[in-house]
Structure 1
Amino acid sequence: MKIIVPMAGRGSRLRPHSLTVPKPLIPVAGQPIVHRLVKDIAKVLKQPIEEIAFVLGDPAFFGEEVVESLTELAESLGAKASIYRQDQPLGTGHAIMSAKPSLSGPAVIAYADTLIRAEFDLDPTADSVIWTKRVANPEAYGVVKLNDDKNIVELVEKPENFVSDQAVIGIYYFKDVAVLKEKLQEILDENIMNGGEYQINDGIKRMMADGRIFKTGTVDEWMDCGNKNITLETNAKMLGFLKEDSLEQLIDSSIVLENSKIIEPCFIGKGTILKNTTVGPHVSIGKDCVIENSTITNSLIQNNTSIINAKLDEAMIGNHVKYNGEFTKISIGDYSVIE
């Protein structure tokens, strides 16, 4: 089994946090988004992963540190890491085709801006599985249309009339991804674009037209990381799940507590110092931070940051920040100073 991860976008909706760190590498509940996504997919697949192919953008932004992080991720799962570059932002189909040498055999394609909680078995009768989440407002999403055999027969974008309540979340399984490659190559050769881009859906629709069987795999939770507010919601949800699972150590044993209190669930990284501070619930703090005389709830703080005299709620703060003040709902990027 292979996992293909297109992640070349700059994450403009999450700025300023994605100005210096690619969005998929921004930590949620203590781990980068893409690390959590790939590990969760591997759990659902319940079979060995031989290769993980990452499609990155400009090397000036997705540099050597990014490559090293992704290589370590793949190797931690016993897989080979393959790194590809998408030289132009020409859509989801184009991004997948940037990894053309890896497009053979069984594979999962997963876009790296979402997290999931799921437990299901892949249907062995299916040529492809499109992962979905039941939603209350399907008119706001791309959804699948099913026939009487529960096969997917159509993809419908933001339907005005009810089609189904199963929204497409951007994760796909292909029994042989080479079939999708063939169809996407036709799309590229015929220069078929939607919105000025080559789309994966156009390749999938051609597979459906050939009679390929598409099934749904419905996830229990679908958590977006598209903007600051949604990322904070995802951080809170993920902390709750991890606390229930008890599979990860969320509070590092090396932290220093001086007249301070932690209201779980929280993630607190190695070497962080809390002085006269209350943290939590639903707070993630990276490594080597110093928090003094503060109260912090429902927030996400990255590494090597100093915060004093603060009362923060729904705050997202980057790396190497120095913050001293009484603002509340804030969003501060890397290397910022507010005094």
Structure 2
Amino acid sequence: MKAVVLAAGEGTRMRPLTANLPKPLLPVAGKPFLRHTLEALRSAGISQVAVLIGWQGHRIRESLGDGEGLGLSIAYEEQTERLGTAHAIGCMRSHVTGSFLSVNGDVVVSGEALAAMIAHHGKVRAPVIALAEVSNPQSFGVVEVKDGKVTGLEEKPRRPKSNLINAGIYIFDEDIFPLIDKTPKSPRGEYEITDTIRELMEKQDVYGFRLPGEWIDVGRPWDLLRANAALLAPLKGANHADVDGGATLVGEVLVEAGARVRRGAYIEGPTVIGAGAEIGPNCYIRPSTSIGPKTKVGNACEVKNSILMAGVH
């Protein structure tokens, strides 16, 4: 099965972080956010991926290349105008054959969850929508399910009928594209995938699949911290750099090549110290922290549950 990743959004809700950097390249847990998504796809058994790019798309191409370094084959499609999720998926028709997995580029999901969803599709042999349970469903597209089948979809209802929401991950067949072509613009001027799915439901059963594990919608800057903590949780520590004898590393701490950790620094994992970073002397770095390349954390500083981007002092 091939996969498409929708990563063309401008990330307006992430500004000013996205003023000069496309949202998919924002650093989370020591690497660009989009890279985590691609690694999850690879872990789920996907080897061919097409990425939809838009604003500053050339920087995504430059960062990921053809995917060889990730063990993937990556192709790209450019969306010149953002017109909704249905339009975005429709742009990818030349990159898929048969059933395909579509993943929104701004969600955190594990490879295990994606593999389970693919296995579920193999059992039901029909379109599948990933579902997540949230405490604030009125902020999302709410999904009603009966006997495993989707019976209703409602965008951001005032009175949700369920805590299950559309998680932005789908398995469709190629027959979704004619339905996308027939989907009218919504009142907000976009082609909504929920409208397309409702039309699909008139023709065949559509199944819901509740994702195991954590799912995070990364829409605003503070969501990056949740994503950072979740993606750092399985980190395996290693030291590839210069750590003074008087420094203390506790738990899973990854120190990348060229970094320097000076005497008196106390670092608790899970934490990533980026290449060329300088830590200490006499500072305290607490768990769920991602320190970017060539960043400096000096004397008497304390950092916790944070993302420090490249070159920060």
Q: Which residue of 1 aligns with 2:124?
A: 125
The normalised TM-score by structure 2 is: 0.84
Q: Which amino acid aligns with 1:23?
A: K
Structure 1 gap segments, 5+ residues each:
308-339
**Residue 283 (structure 1) shift:** 1.1
**How many angstroms does 1:242 deviate by?**
2.7
Percent identity of equivalent pairs? 29
Equivalent position of 1:93 in the other structure? 86
Q: CA deviation at 1:76?
A: 4.0
Seen in structure 2, the aligned counterparts of structure 1 residues 127 and 71 have a Cα distance that, compared at 3 Å, is farther
Provide TM-score, normalisation by structure 1: 0.78
Provide closer, same or farther for how the CA distance between residues 42 and 155 of structure 1 changes in structure 2, counting only shifts above 3 A: farther
Matched, 1:183 2:155: no
Partner of 1:272: 277
**Aligned match of 1:237 in 230, 240, 260?**
230
Deviation string, structure 1 residues 191-221 (Cα, Å, up to 9, x no partner) = 4434101111222111111013323242311
Give 1:284 deviation, angstroms.
0.4
**2:45 corresponds to 1:38:** no
Contact 1:131 1:219 (8 Å CA) reproduced = no
Q: Number of aligned residue pairs: give it.
A: 290
The verdict on how the C-alpha distance between 1:11 and 1:270 changes in structure 2, with shifts beyond 3 A counting, is same
Mapped partners of 1:161, 1:290: distance in 2: 48
Alignment-derived partner of residue 71 in structure 1: 65
The equivalences for 1:1-339 within 5 A come to 1-43=1-43, 45=44, 47-49=45-47, 51-58=48-55, 61-63=56-58, 65-72=59-66, 74-117=67-110, 118-119=112-113, 120=116, 121-123=119-121, 124-147=123-146, 149-174=147-172, 176=173, 178-187=174-183, 191-242=184-235, 250-252=254-256, 254-259=258-263, 260-276=265-281, 277-293=283-299, 294-305=301-312, 307=313
Distance 1:217 1:173, change over 3 A: farther
RMSD: 2.2
| Distance in structure 1 (CA, Å) of the matches to 2:42 and 2:308 | 27
* CA spacing shift, 1:161–1:296, aligned 2, 3 Å: closer
Cα distance in 2, alignment partners of residues 56 and 48 from structure 1: 19
8 Å contact from structure 1 (residues 126, 215) kept in 2: no
CA distance in 2, matches of 1:236, 1:213: 33
> What does residue 242 of structure 2 align with?
none
- Tell me by how many angstroms 1:162 deviates: 4.6
